[in-house]
Structure 1
């Protein structure tokens, strides 16, 4: 029929018809190829359900995450109109993968102009791999006087700081040649610099990410004498238990025997107190007071873990007061957000402030504002305070002291003096299970607990081996730093049709 429309132009019309037919055939072939990489899906109420994407020759990492990138427009075959993308960002774990492919599903929403459904939609998508297997786990190996590192892509453990001999032999040397003395806390900033709460050396140490040189950034190692308003490296500390660095580079640490939270200003390097008012150094000189007043007028009692949420609010594991306390970033007012001050276990599925805590050592606030708390003595558990409801629940530990439960739901597992907790952006929970001599991990999607470092025996049997075969000795802290790597992206077409 195309030839009949062009008969008056003779041979030129015939050639044009052939070209048009060839173009139509090529379009049909392309459409068929596109269908091979994008599975058709029915659509109801503007929803494309269970889209299954496939393509070959993908260098995937098992257990990786894949992200569907946002596309600004959709185009229909029939009218050529643009449709706005109203979909969700895909960020779920790949169900299976190999060198040649992977499989999983994603739900996509479409908003059509004027509320009309498109008859057929093509859209272009791209998948980018972000693998939690490429994260690095840092461990404060307390009785081994080392900071250990586990590359989760390889599972191999190494030492990044400490010789294993307790003591202090100076700064400005390679961190693996420096002595530490019972490190209790570790923190890593975005550029890779590592901060260590060198507990019995009464110092906060820093390992430069580029040079691997260790220096002291707070504390002079001298006998305790409370000093504020001076250079941080010229004052004595009272056994710093944990360390945190905010986005501006300000350093915070819990000064355990001074019952305070101290801050080192990023610019001036001057040290000040941000919570706590006790002036006397000692085991039994702390107390409880001050809620709903200025944090610097309140009393703490052997504070241990600290963390900060996205708004800059400071959270304190007020260990011997059996509370988690919060210092408001704007007002500097301190309040209790979990614990009624009585040691013990009670209150799950109720308000966190009515619950009993059992000498909480660690606190962590995830990206959604949920608070995670370690309970150490007698009823070892990891508990969670919901950021919206304020309700407390148990997410790991059955309350019995022991080492059983790997590869089972975390709430049925035994823990043994869990000291600190860390939660990554995917909801995976890392637990420094101190006297099980392990780092345990609760998968965010399944709730199953496993061991990622430590074989359960206390000691040190070397480095450069699989982390789950290595000995740890009373690990006190763990932090997982995700080094996301975008694997080769692939573009493809998918089709949504058969609307009803």
Structure 2
């Protein structure tokens, strides 16, 4: 990533600011919530002798917050930006001083921070929680300190990112030497990119006093240790919740964003076998088929951006019989369509009105399906915790809510038009009949874990003609098959655990199931697409596997995949901000 000023190259220290895990339980963080809400200038007055040049820094960040996003006030947005501002020397940064106080056993050290904490935590409370997997890394080996099964609390704020590109920069995490990568499944993190002093870092912030458990540890070789964490909910609040007053800005937002009653239908997804592609596509890809090893960019590929010839971290995709590709453009909060043969630009067909919760807006969509029965898009609007139906008829400007209050990720539909939705907050998959609100549990539902009756961060889905469900488990490094009516799944890909061997997977994501039962999987962190035939102990790499990169035979963090009716392969290459097509040979 490119850096625009000297402040940015020091941000690496903020992302690596873990602190030392305390040996004793600390007292909860409380008292600040009784403080009044004041301007940022007033909030930092008690900090003048603690944080050098804090008044000057407030002036600087406020110049960037005159038109804040997400319906925050200028002071609220600036309070977040002040946290991300790096001073020189690094030790003078506000976040360093604040986190040292949050991690101290002496809770009296927090008293001068109460006004600032009241303001910044109020601002963060106005942002929606992110139910996603986020990253942070340090240039040292912490594998012995964070052993599998360990439960701990990070008492300070924790800066993370949603983009592996950020960490790969040498100023941050790099690609050589001893390194520890934390892969965190969080349900409460806040996306602060719109309020960061360095927006290009895609910063996601964990609030103080978050509890986690180590679910997996992997020595990947070359000095890289990958530690997977899941966020826990302690029985009592360790950070006293802040009371968020209703401002005039928020009242306006609420009146615009009210949803109508939940509609009677549900929807389906794209990256799996899905109802429509599987029924309409009568071809069955031969189990020994091969593809060109160099891909062709058919959407995006002009770096990250929101122009119609660009994508921003594409996730889900759907290919119809005309080879038109419909893409869930995650970072641009829109659904965009690229017609076959036109690689110059796409057409926005849903969202694209900025990040928000209005019915004409989307918030980090992860999946999309075309339901031809109703001529509609079905969208997993993950950031808004809802599934939408969006008519494709001319003149449609907004969607309707089908399922609400769900941390959805992937969707699929079977031949009987049942909808399947993965929930990576509850670690389960449910099947919905038209008109149902609660659905029927078909996979997982027994908490986050690696047991055969459990799922861990389920991503995309496939459903066969017998209504057996295939689930990619992002954090269990496996794909499981759940036969209809069964309470346990069967591991059908990644049978040898997490890693880069042919019998292993590392954060699998997209799925496609053929009529013969052959499964195609995007092996996200190994940057390869694999084929697993029924009952195979090992998979076959069909494209990729050439390391992380932007070459025509490389990927950088894969998401979904699909095939057209001719057998050509389409892959969402997330952090290269493109969709690649590989022609069948």
Could you state the TM-score of these two structures normalised by the residue count of structure 1? 0.53
* Separation of aligned partners in 1, 2:521 and 2:390: 28
1:142-185 CA distances to partner (integer Å, 9 max, x unpaired)? xxxxxxxxx94545421111124101123xxxxxxx11110011
Query: For 1:381 and 1:420, how far apart are their aligned partners in 2?
Result: 12
Could you tell me which residue of structure 2 aligns to residue 144 of structure 1? none
Provide the residue aligned with 2:371 in structure 1: 246
SS at match of 2:346: strand
**2:495 — aligned with what?**
398
Q: CA deviation at 1:187?
A: 0.8
Question: Radius of gyration: which is bigger?
Answer: 1
2:99 maps to: none
Cα distance, 1:329 vs structure 2:
2.5
Structure 2 residue corresponding to 1:214, chosen from 323, 333, 346? 346
Instruction: Report the 3-state secondary structure (helix = DSSP H, G, I; strand = E; otherwise coil) of the residue aligned with 1:320.
Output: coil
Distance in 1 (CA, whole Å) between partners of 2:435 and 2:362 is 27
Indicate how the Cα distance of structure 1 residues 243 and 382 shifts in structure 2: closer, same or farther if over 3 A, else same.
Answer: same
| SS in structure 1 of the partner of residue 425 of structure 2 | helix
1:253-291 superposed Cα distances (whole Å, 9 cap, x missing partner): 111111111111233634111111xxxxxxxxxxxxxxx
Question: Are 1:311 and 1:329, in contact at CA under 8 Å, matched by a contact in 2?
Answer: no
CA contact (8 A) 2:473 2:508 kept: yes
**SS in structure 2 opposite 1:477?**
strand
Cα distance in 1 for residues equivalent to 2:365 and 2:431: 19
| Secondary structure of residue in 2 paired with 1:209 | coil
Structure 2 residue 318 is matched with structure 1 residue 187: yes
What is the aligned counterpart of 1:300 among 376, 395, 406? 406
Cα distance 1:336–1:388, how it changes in 2: closer, same or farther (>3 A)? Answer: closer
Number of residue equivalences:
283
Of 319, 328, 337 in structure 1, the residue corresponding to residue 424 of structure 2 is 319
User: 2:145: which partner in 1?
Assistant: none
Within the alignment, does 1:236 sit opposite 2:361 as a pair?
yes
Say whether 1:132 aligns with 2:215: no
The runs of 5 or more residues in structure 1 that have no matched partner are 1-128, 136-150, 171-177, 229-234, 277-298, 348-354, 406-412, 464-469, 486-500
TM-score by length of 2: 0.45
2:381 is the counterpart of 1:275: no
Residues 520, 529 of structure 2: 8 Å contact kept: yes
Q: Supply the distance in 2 between the matched residues of 1:360 and 1:223 (Cα, whole angstroms).
A: 24
> Out of 383, 386, 389, which is 2:480 matched to?
383
Task: Supply the distance in 1 between the matched residues of 2:318 and 2:366 (Cα, whole angstroms).
Answer: 12
**Counterparts of 2:294 and 2:303, CA distance in 1:** 22
- 1:440-451 equivalences in 2 (<5 Å): 440-444=530-534, 448-451=538-541
How far, CA to CA, are the matches of 1:389 and 1:417 in structure 2? 25
Counterpart check, 1:167 vs 2:321: no
Quickly say closer, same or farther: Cα 1:165–1:425, change in 2 above 3 A: same
Task: Deviation per CA, 1:278-321: give whole Å up to 9, x if none.
Answer: xxxxxxxxxxxxxxxxxxxxx313x1111111111111110111
1:358 is aligned to 2:456 = yes
Distance 2:508 2:493 in 1: 10
Larger strand percent: 1
Higher relative contact order (CA 8 A, sep 6+): 1
Structure 2 unaligned segments of length 5 or more: list them.
1-281, 569-585
Take 2:341 and 2:550, find their aligned partners in 1: how far apart are those partners? 27
CA contact (8 A) 1:371 1:385 kept: yes
What do you get for the CA RMSD once the two structures are aligned? 2.7
